[in-house]
Amino acid sequence: MQRRDFLRGSAQTAALGTLATVADAAARAADAPLRVALVGCGWYGKTDLFHLMQVTPVDVVGLCDVDTTMREAAAELVAGRQPSGKKPPLYGDYRQLLTESKPQIVLVATPDHWHCLPMIAACRAGCDVYVQKPISFDVVEGRAMVAAARKYGRTVQVGLQRRSTPHLLEARDRYIATGKLGKIAAVDIHSYYGSRSAFPPAAAPPATLDWEMYCGPAPLIDFHPQLHPRAWRDCIEFSNGQTGDLCVHFYDLVRYFLDLSWPQRIAASGGALLRPADSTIRLHDTQTALFDHGAVQVVWTQRNWGENPDPAYPWGATLYGDKGTLKLSVQSYDFQPKGGGPTEHGTFLDEREQYPQDVAHKETEPFAAAATRRHMQDFLAARAAGRKPVADIAEGHVSSAVCILANLAMRLGRSLTLDAAGQIVGDPEADTLLARPYRAPWQHPTPESV
């Protein structure tokens, strides 16, 4: 066995041992199946729920979605996985779900503009929460979500599961913790994934979709075919684009690995440079953002067009040290020592044989399944021990807010300076743009109002 194979095997064994310890702690804390509810029954909502069901006994007591077809399909799948075989109650309004189903844990996997209000309501109702990233659509929402978690003493894990990804943790331990990468002063985060150029013309929403509730606190825009499901990420009213979707994952991982807090300065440029001027999609397709952490400079590069310069890493991060270079993605890692020498390669932990349900649910991402299971187990262990989870809501807020601020800096055409608490310094106009207007009757929460 080669040394690197031995190291990789040892690291994976250690990871599995930690997983077993976490699972045991969670099992000891559970006297009965956990009462769990899901808000947002789309692709990743079901995936998160199924991974939670794989690692602890669960009684799914409610499913909520504004699309009746989607929530009914989710109920069929849940019934097939619950030992009881029963379908959970279905809801179109998360407030009714919280009142009637009384869950212990709520998973929030809605479009981004709907993360904040259900999360705060769940905390107020005494639930612990697993909320998808980015935690919020705007910065003030994120501050309010942190305040709610603390005020009501709730455990809140953010779906930034790169912090629990076995092969990425292995790369950290092999190259960063040991000093093999050396001093790290520059990091590149990038996405070269494409995106659609436009939606079809506006049309009436399907009868199965409550479009009014779908828009919620966001503007009531026209419905476009193909927007739902999943393409809402191309709507500026519902999403912060790939910066909020993809940058946040690896920026958060870099912060975690290098122990970074708020950057000192954020600058960004770009825009919708390749889409037609009259496109129904107004989000940027090109962006370069700088997150200035002083001794560490982090750059985000998004380009949804042209050639991908590294086909093996269309989305990922590259850490540059004075002793080598480390490439990270959801699929793999590669370490190249300075001055040459063989590249050391690692790949994601594939558990499809152990969890054949992942294959049955075709929407499961194999590379993310092991990570999400471990992320859920950390959430359960934190909940049982009364500690903060690895992706606590406050950490999720920092990573989410920085990405949101990159979009704001691009919009304003100037850099933003932050203090150690993440407050904008010397830019009153930017301060006024940290909270979007809410559409009546919804009211924008603040840290003081939760």
What CATH number is associated with residue 109? Answer: 3.40.50.720
> CB-based burial of residue 404 (10 Å sphere; 0-12 exposed, 13-18 middle, 19+ buried)?
buried
> Average pLDDT of 317-341?
97
Checking if the pLDDT of 328 tops 80, the result is yes
- 170 inside domain: no
Give the C-alpha separation, 38 to 62, whole Å.
6
Q: Whole-angstrom Cα distance, residue 64 to residue 322?
A: 50
Whether residue 84 is predicted with pLDDT greater than 50 in this model: the reply is yes
Q: Is the dihedral of CA 401, 395, 261, 312 positive or negative?
A: negative
Compute the mean pLDDT over every residue in the chain, rounded to the nearest whole number: 93
pTM over 0.85: yes
User: Both 76 and 151 in a single domain?
Assistant: yes
**137 and 251 inside one domain:** no
* 437 assigned to some structural domain: no
Q: Is the dihedral of CA 98, 101, 103, 108 positive or negative?
A: negative
Q: Is residue 341 part of a domain?
A: yes
| Residue 245 predicted with pLDDT over 90 | yes
pLDDT in tens, 383-419: 999 999 999 999 999 999 999 999 999 999 999 999 9
Provide the domain limits for residue 300.
180-358+398-432
Q: How confident is the model at residue 119 (pLDDT cuts 50, 70, 90)?
A: very high
pLDDT reported for residue 2: 37
In this structure, are 117 and 239 located in the same domain?
A: no
Could you say which of 114, 130, 162 is where a domain stops?
Answer: 162
Domain CATH code at residue 316 = 3.30.360.10
Tokens of 406: 């990159």
Answer whether residue 257 is part of any domain. yes
Say which amino acid occupies 257: F
Same domain, residue pair 79 and 212: no
Same domain, residue pair 256 and 309 = yes
Specify whether 186 is located in the same domain as 154: no
Q: In which band, very low, low, confident or very high, does the pLDDT at 31 lie, cut at 50, 70 and 90? A: low
pLDDT in tens, 180-236: 999 999 999 999 999 888 999 999 999 999 999 999 999 999 999 999 999 999 999
For residues 336 and 325, is the Cβ–Cβ distance under 8 A?
Answer: yes
Q: How many domains does the chain have?
A: 2
Residues 158 and 192 grouped into a single domain:
no
Residue 343 lies in a domain: yes
- Whether 35 contacts 61, CB under 8 Å: yes
pLDDT of amino acid 196: 86
**pLDDT on residue 450:** 98
- Does residue 124 lie within any of the structural domains? yes
Residues 142 and 228 in one domain: no
Q: Are residues 157 and 188 in the same domain?
A: no
CA nearest 92: which of 206, 214, 205? 214
Q: Is the same domain home to 151 and 235?
A: no
Distance in angstroms (rounded) separating the CA atoms of residues 39 and 35: 14
Label residue 16 by pLDDT band (50, 70, 90).
very low
Q: Which secondary structure element, helix H or strand E, spans residue 258, and what is its range? A: helix 248-258
Selection from 355, 351, 314, 318 nearest residue 335 by Cα: 318
Neighbours of 212 (CB within 10 A): 11
Residue 340 pLDDT: 86
Does the pLDDT of residue 26 top 80, yes or no? Answer: no
**Average confidence (pLDDT) over 34-50:** 97
Whose tokens are 């702690």? That residue is 25
Q: In what order do the strands lie in the sheet with 156-158?
A: 90-91, 58-64, 34-39, 105-108, 128-131, 156-158
Residue 381 lies in a domain: no
Amino acid in the structure at residue 390? V
132 lies in a domain? yes
Same domain, 196 and 339: yes
User: Are 286 and 426 found together in one domain?
Assistant: yes
What share of the chain in percent tops pLDDT 90? 91
Please give the Cα distance from 226 to 440 (Å, whole number).
Answer: 26
Structure tokens at 68: 């009746």
Total count of residues recorded for the chain? 450
